Every structure is written in C-alpha cells, then in structure tokens.
Structure 1
Amino acid sequence: MDDAAHPHAIPRSTRPPLRELWRFAGPHRARVIGAGAASVANKAFDVMPELLIGAAVDVVAQGEDSFIGTTFGIADRFTQLSVLVAITIVIWVFESVFEYVAIVQWRNLAQTLEHEARMDCYRHVQTLEMAYFEDRTSGGLMTVLNEDVNQLERFLDFGPHRLIITIANVVFVGGVFLVVSPSLFLLAFSPIPAIVVASLWYQTRLEPRYARVRAAGGTIGDTLTNAIGGMVTIKAFGGEEREAARVGADSEAYRDANRAAIRFSTAFNPIIRMAIMAGFVMTLLVAGRAALRGDLALGVFTTLVYMTQRL
C-alpha cells in the first residue's frame, strides 16, 4: 500500500535532498558555516603550490627580473628560491591545519545530525497508527532507522567538504585564469557547462538505480530477520534448504541491483575527465603558443598547465 494511503505515514519531502538537509540542520547552521569556511580556506592554501611552481620556474628563467626578485628586491636566484621554500612551508602548514579543522568539524557535525535524524525518525514512528505497521515489515523500518541514517552520516563525513572544495577549486583556478588571460579562461573553462549538465543528467539517472538498491537491501534484511526469528520452526520442519534458497535469491537480487548502479556510477569520472582533457589541451596549445611568442611568461604558462589539471 502506498504511503499516501496512511494519514500518519512517514512524510516524503518534495524538496531537493540538499535543501532538505540544510533545513534539517537549521539549529547547527553556525557550525555548518564554520566547517564550510575551513573547507574553503583548506582549498585556497591547497591551490597555492601551483602558483609557487610557476614562481620557481620564473626565478630560474628570469633571474633578478622574476616576480619574486622584483617583489622582494632580491637579485640572487638561490636566495629567491629560499624565499619560495619558506613560503611553501607556511602554505603547507596552513593547508594541513585547515584540512584537519574542516574534517573534524564535518565529522562531529555528521555524528550530531545522525543522532538527531535517528531520534526524529523514531519519535515519528511512535506516532504512527497500528495500520501502518500491518502493511510494513520490521526490516523496512530498520533500513530507514539504521542503514539510511548511517548513509547520511557517511555522506556528511566527507561529502560537504568535497563538494565545497570542488566548487572552491573551480572558483580559485578560474580566478587565476581570468586575471592572466580572459580568452584563456573562456577556452579552458568551456567544458564546465557541459560537466554541470552531465552531472545533473547523471544524478537523475542514478537515483532510480540506487532506489532499487535500497529496496533490494530492505528485502534481504526482511528475509534474514524472518529466517533467523523463525529458525526453530525452520529446523522443526526441515526447511533449511528452502529458506537458504530464498535468502540466496534475495541476496542475488541485491547484488544485481548494486552491480547495475556501480556500472553506471563508475562511468561518470572517466567521462568528466574527457571533458576536462579538452580544456587542458586548449590551455596547452593556446597558452603554449603565447609563451613561445613571448606574450606569456614561462612561469605563468607552467602555472596554468598545472592548474588546468586540478579541474
């Protein structure tokens, strides 16, 4: 029976999942913002080594006319490289510190939201009419209260951090390209709209597959719960093989649903990498030609090539 038939069934949100999660995390938004700021700072320092690589190449190629030389008034190349080493150490320390702070904050927040989601869901279950439980198995409810809530915790452990640093990476790298050359920015970032569209398309196609995985997981959970609970009866009537075959069939269905989801989801990264390759090739050709003509400094060219790979 559909949930809509029960006036007290567990409500299904019509909002996008991330928006619903943001609403649920309302009492902890200050912590979310703090963790997000740490993630952005982590990525900002993480991008800087590419700038230092370009600066090092610039020192070797330009000598006292390099950016470091003119900025700090240092003529000796080795001294310039020593300055770069000191800056590198500071950047790596801050990058590591902010990564630690961000991950600890996100994981602590994940534990808090996992607990609150489980308790919120259980309290709601206690308010349901008995008719709801007549049409539901305990395995299905346990899937929601335990497995689904655990999945939420696993997502919150690293999901928001990775999402934020990915967006920050595009913004920071795009900012460098835009400052250096707007035309190179347009060429290198031309695949980004295609990547966004592909990601949204992939999400819509992936959701039904993982819904089938979840349904199959609930079924095998029900089967195992019933089989273990009725073990005395099974043994009394010699039904071991029959029950083993039933468990095996449900387990096979769960494995097949997972395989279908894995095949589809695994293809996402290689396809996206091909789109990024187009931007990398354009940067290599156009920026390389500008460097050969002398219109683009060798250090800047090196930085752009390295940064394109970060996309």
Structure 2
Amino acid sequence: MKALLRVLQYLRPHRTLAILTLLCAACATAMELVPPWVIKIIIDDVIQAKQASLLPGVIGLLVAAYVFKNVFASLRIRLNNQLEQTVVHDLRRHIFAALQRLSITYFENRSTGEIMSRVTNDTEHVERIFIDGLEGMMTASLTLVGITGLLFMLNWKLAVLALLPIPLLALSASWFTSKVHGYYRETRQSAAELNGYLQDALSGIRETMGFGRQGHEQARFDRLSQAYSDKNLKAMVLWSMYSPGMILVGAFGTILILWYGAGEVMDGRLTLGELVLFLSYLAMFYVPINQIHSVNHMLQHALAASERVFDVLDTVPDVADRPGLLAPDQRAQGDVRFEQVQFYYRPDVPVLKGFSARVSAGERVALVGMSGAGKSTLLKLLMRFYDVTDGAILIDGKDLRDLPLAYLRQQIGFVQQEPFLFNGTV
C-alpha cells in the first residue's frame, strides 16, 4: 500500500486532468445504468400494459443513453491516456535524474543490465498502474457503488442475497494478494538478472567467440531464462485457480436471485420487468467485481516493480555535497595536495596508505607504478568519484569535500583509461 500511495503522489501536479477523467468516468457509469431501467419499462409498461404510444419515447431514451455513454467513455479514455503518459514521463525523468546523482559505487556494484531493467522494464510495469489500474479500478468502483444503491432501492431482500458471496470474495482477494505479490517480486528480480547477464554477454561477445565459449554462455542464458519462466508460471498457476473460482462464487449469487425472484414473481410481489431489471443490474454488479480481481492481479505485478523503482529513487549517494556549499567565484589555480590519504575499496583490502604528495599549479607530474598500485584511484579521488577513507585532498588549500561537486569537476580535464563513445552523430 505504501508503494501505491507513493506512485499516486505523481498525480498531484495533474489534479485537474485527474478530476476531469474521474467526472467522465462517473458520467459514463451513470449512462450505463439507464438501459436496464428502460428495458424494464418496455416489459412492464409497453408490452404487458399494451401502451404502444410509449415505445418511441422509450426507444429514444435508450438510444440517447448509449450515445452519451460512449461519448463520455471516449473522453475518459482520451483524458486518461494523456494523464498516464504525463505521469509516467515524470516518473522516468525522476529515475534518470536519481541515477545521474548517484555515486560511482552504485554502478560498480550492479550490472548495467540490472539497472536498465529498473529504468525500462520496471517503469513500464509501473505504467500499468495508470493505464489499466487506476482507470479499471475507478470505473469498476463507480459502477459497483451505483449498482449496489439501485439493487437495494429495487428490492432489499434480493440485494442482500446478491451480497452473500461478497465476504468470501473479499477473503479470497486478500489471500491472493498476499501470495502473488511475493511471486511478482521474485519475477522482477529474475528479469533483472536475465537482463544483466544479457548485457554482459553482448558486451563480451568478442571474448566469447575468441575462446569458443558459445555453448557455455548458451547454457548460462538458458538457466536464467528458465528460472524467469518458472517464476512467472508460479503466479500464473495461482491466477488460474483464483480467477475461475471467483467467477464461480459470483455465479452462486445469480442462482440465489433466480431461485428467490422466480417465487416472488409467481406470488405477485414482483413484476417480470422488475426481475429482469434486477438480473440485468446483477450481471453488471459482478462484472466490476471480476474486473477488480483482474486489476488487483495486475496491480501486484506493478507494485512489485514500483518497489524496485523506488529503491533507485531512495538510494542516498555515497559522495554528495555538504549542505550550504557555495562555488568559488574564480577558477581553480590548480595547486593540488594529497595529505596522508588512505583509501579502501573494501575494508580488508587497502589501496592507499598514508599517501602524501603535492603538485603545484602549472607543474606536470607522471604517476608510475605497478598495475594495481593506485594510480587511477588517485585520479578518481581527485575527481571525487569516491571520498578518501582518511586524510584529505586539497585544491588551492581547500578540501575537496568543501567544494561543490559540479564546480570541482568543471575545473579538471579528465581522460579515462577506456574512452567511451556515445551513440550519436559526430
């Protein structure tokens, strides 16, 4: 529920669009309730009472109800699509902005494919909350409330019978939700592992070919793909039992109404038109209930994905600006000092221990040493990709941690050991 509330917060900047969508849904629902009532009038007041003069007006009312229902439905779909795309765009922007501010360690501890899975696949599943979830739940809820009121207004005894299956449906929905949410969490994790491996396999395809390891890599892919399929099937098997079971329980409500309502008609306490009207509304009553079950199924998949999305948004960077930092007015002169610098990638493996050096402004210095001695690490610390474990690095007498990151990196020209070419034109 917490994840759902966080997702729904993205609707706040678009309240007007959301309200208009809700109003169109309410109007479409209201128009949908008119035809059964018109059919009841045709049966009781036109056919049985033999008042043919009423027929043109009643048919006109029926046509108007269908026309207005579909007009409002069209507006609802259009507004909802605009709302969902706007909100999902905001969500994607926030995720990418969050990735931009995260520290290098976040990316080094995760595969690129796994991160991409969160930004693309998981965000796409969160999108289903707005495309199908909100729209379906909103329409079904409005229909359910309207029909429930009409059922009690028509005949409270029949309405009570119609509601008898509801407690069992609610308990079953609660059980299904608790089970399937865990399955979908596992599914999203498995999808991320598969995407992570695929990204690595494609990036290293030359090495795979060079060492003739295609068979080995195929076997690894097959295992991950099968694991993903198996986790999906666990949720699907649960749904295959739950969905038909809920429809069967709802059918018992209809059977009760036919059994009791037929007796009421034969005893003269209920007209045939009223029974047909009640059965029409009853059929409409169980449709939104089944729709809510389907939306709940989809929602659990989307919420499992949203947890992974919010994990990115909630991650605190290891390297960040201190509060209230202001960038200096002038460019850095370039006087660099390393003072008793210590650094560990892992607590048990020291890379630098008590390193001190000074590079004056304008001076050229080459760092020479064995592979793994820490040459690249020193430059990464200077760029503040990482913070020193102990000691300090100063530029023009100021600790790097007292300079805004954006300012610091604008002052330094840095060429990586392995250049990266972005896709695009030159």
Fold shared by both chains (TM-score > 0.5): yes
Q: Is 1:256 the equivalent of 2:256?
A: no
1:119 aligns with 2:93: yes
Residue 293 of structure 1 corresponds to: 267
1:29 equivalent to 2:29? Answer no
The one-letter amino acid paired with 2:188 is: R
Match status 1:267 vs 2:253 = no
Greater CA drift, 128-137 or 287-296:
128-137
Shift in Å, 1:229:
0.7
Match of 2:198, SS state, is: helix
| Cα drift, residue 246 of structure 1 | 0.9
Matched with 2:38 is 52
- Which structure 1 segments of 5+ residues have no match? 1-14, 65-75
Q: Percent identity?
A: 23
Q: 2:107 aligns with which of 133, 137, 143?
A: 133
- Flag structure 2 segments of 5+ consecutive residues without an equivalent: 287-426
Give the Cα separation in 1 of the matches to 2:261 and 2:143: 20
Partner of residue 81, structure 1: 55
Q: Counterparts in 2 of 1:9-24, with a 5 A limit?
A: 15-24=1-10
Please give the residue correspondences for 1:38-49 in structure 2 after superposition, counting only pairs within 5 Å.
38-49=24-35
CA distance in 1, matches of 2:241, 2:19: 33
Compute the TM-score of the two structures, normalised by the length of structure 1. 0.87
Give CA deviations for 1:33-60 in whole Å, capped at 9, x if unaligned: 2212211221221232222222221135
Q: When the two structures are superposed, what TM-score results if normalisation uses the length of structure 2?
A: 0.64
Partner of 1:209: 183
**Relative CO higher for 1 or 2, CA cutoff 8 Å, sep ≥ 6?**
1
Could you tell me how far apart the structure 1 residues matched to 2:171 and 2:4 are?
Answer: 18
Cα pair 1:107 1:158 within 8 Å, conserved = no
Specify the alignment match of 2:152 in structure 1.
178
| Alignment check: 8 A CA contact 2:10 2:90 kept | no
Tell me which structure has the larger Cα radius of gyration.
2
Secondary structure, in 3 states, of the residue corresponding to 1:294? coil
1:63-107 per-residue CA deviation (whole Å, 9 max, x = no partner) reads 25xxxxxxxxxxx32x32222211111011111111111111111
Contact 2:46–2:54 (Cα < 8 Å) also in 1: no
Output the CA distance in 2 between the equivalents of 1:157 and 1:179: 34
The Cα RMSD (Å) is 1.6
In the alignment, the residues of structure 2 paired with residue 265 and residue 17 of structure 1 have an alpha-carbon distance, to the nearest angstrom, of 22
What's the offset of the Cα at 1:243? 0.8
Match of 1:219 among 166, 172, 193: 193
What are the superposed Cα offsets for residues 161-180 of structure 1, whole Å, 9 maximum, x if unpaired?
A: 21112112221211111111
Displacement after TM superposition at 1:264 (Å): 1.1
8 Å contact kept, 1:61–1:298:
no
Using the TM superposition, give the Cα deviation of residue 61 of structure 1 relative to its aligned residue in structure 2, in angstroms. 4.4
CA deviation after TM superposition for structure 1 residue 197, in Å: 2.5
More off after superposition, 260-269 vs 206-215: 260-269
- Equivalent-residue separation in structure 1 for 2:218 and 2:54 (angstroms): 72
CA distance in structure 2 between the partners assigned to 1:161 and 1:128 by the alignment: 34
Cα displacement (A) at 1:140: 1.6
Of 226-235 and 199-208, the range deviating more from structure 2? 199-208
Higher share in strand: 2
| 1:259 CA drift (Å) | 1.1
- Worse-matched range after superposition: 183-192 or 245-254: 183-192
Partner SS for 1:296: coil
Show the counterpart of 1:166: 140
Cα separation, 2, equivalents of 1:278 and 1:93: 33
Aligned partner (choices 247, 262, 279) of residue 305 of structure 1: 279
What secondary structure, in the 3-state scheme, does the structure 1 residue paired with 2:110 have? coil
Q: How far apart, in 1, do the equivalents of 2:277 and 2:192 lie? A: 50
Give the stretch that moved more between structures: 29-38 or 295-304: 29-38
Moved more, 215-224 or 28-37: 28-37
Name whichever structure is richer in helix by fraction. Answer: 1
Does the CA-based 8 Å contact 1:234-1:240 persist in structure 2?
Answer: yes
The answer (yes or no) to whether the contact 1:220–1:250 under 8 Å persists in 2 is yes
